[in-house]
Amino acid sequence: MASTDNSPELMPANGLQPTPGKPIGVKKNAIYKDAKMMQSPQPIYGHDMPHQIQRVVSNGKQCSGKEEKQRDIIEDMKLAISHSSGEPEPILASVINHYVQTLNQRNMRYPTNQDLNYDTLAPLLHFHLNNAGDPFLGSSFSLNSTTFEVCVLDWFANLWEIEKSEYWGYVTTGGTEGNLHGILVGREQFPDGILYTSQDSHYSIVKIARMYRMKCVKVNTSVSGEIDCVDLKALLLAHKTKPAIINLNIGTTMKGGIDDLDLVTQTLEECGFTPDRFYLHCDGALFGMMLPFVKGAPNITFRKPIGSEAIYGHKFLGCPIPCGIVITRLEYINALSRDVEIIASRDATITGSRSGHAPIFLWYALKRRGLRGLQNEVHKCIMNARYLQNRLCDVGIGAMLNKFSNTVAFETPVDDGFIHRWNLACIGNIAHVVVMQHVTIEILDSLGNFYKSD
């Protein structure tokens, strides 16, 4: 679905330039002191891992403190499952009520929408709903929600401009499964293809390459986190005899960088790759849901030569069950699918049993908001992100906000207590806040005031 003319034209306060002011209360070598510090975080993979992460993999010592803390929580909340005859309902209710209270804390680390109410759907929890198999064919298990699932898929097919008769997809367990499926489709098209992905890609992409035993080539990124097409061109020319499977980031995790689909396609053509020798998978993550509602934003559409796109359902839409959506071209699915007699359906998904509740929650979220409601929420998130960038500038903190993004990147605070209090995600000298629907101006002011007091 193309952007409407009356969509808000949202722009970052200072584009991709760091806000002025000296770093206050941040770690040394802050990210804007030297442009090199804004290069991508180190890949969380193999020998490229930072030293402290290597220790986690090699001997687990780095995790021991967290494991002990987890055990303490289990003991304090009396969560251990004993071998007795069972616990009375009031005791279990007390445990759950206490846990609910612990959830009412600040959360700006992960892009999940906490502004939600699904009380209407509570009766569904009395049923086991299982959407095993192809959602378009149903299965022999009658307690399913595939009709709701197909409605959700049709909505996204329309959003990303592909005809109902030309697409296939399903509701996944999350973005990683969507990436697993999309890249698998690409690999089935090109078994000897090379997977190209940027240094700022989600860690699942490298994990997927390892699982599928694919050669994975990492491409440099710009300061803003976008794929460097000059480097991509050099790498493509160096491996010109092999088909290219390219993962495109529609909003990177730490900086919200959006890879330029048109420029990547042009780069492939300049390197002599015809459409029958490349496959493009779009990791839509959070932004794949938001960009269609922003005027002037890149148009990620199946009218362009993409093979698949995957997004999260529990991020912007706020589904309380981790889930996602993957859409691909129907013509590619025959290479993956197999008829399975026991479920009387076709198997073309990564997992077998799939949540039947998640599609209904997604359907409810989309129906309740409507296009105008979704557009208003996108506008609110991006405008509030602009506000935060300016607020950090006011207290002397260098901050960056990518165009069309609600992810504000800034220098990592020195105080670990501050990081824990605000549940901030940090990699090296970079921290970020993802401004979602539940993050209010008052919360952002409070964050800025804490920085100022430091």
SS3 for 385? helix
Task: Give residue 256's identity as a one-letter amino acid code.
Answer: G
Rounded CA gap, 15 and 30, in Å? 19
Strands (E), 173-307: 194-198, 216-219, 244-249, 278-285
Q: 10 Å Cβ neighbour count for 33?
A: 17
Residue 266 CA neighbour count, 13 Å, CB half? 8
Q: Which of 139, 145, 198, 405 is catalytic?
A: 405
Smallest CA-to-CA distance from 431 within 117, 214, 108 is with 108
> Which residues, at least 6 apart from 219, have a Cβ–Cβ distance to it below 8 Å?
196, 197, 198, 199, 227, 228, 231, 232, 235
**DSSP letters for 393-433:** HHTT--EEE-TT--EEEEEPBS-HHHHHHTT-EEETTEEEE
- CA dist., res. 209 & res. 62, Å (int): 26
DSSP-assigned letter for residue 285? E
Catalytic status, residue 139: no
Which positions are annotated as active-site residues? 405
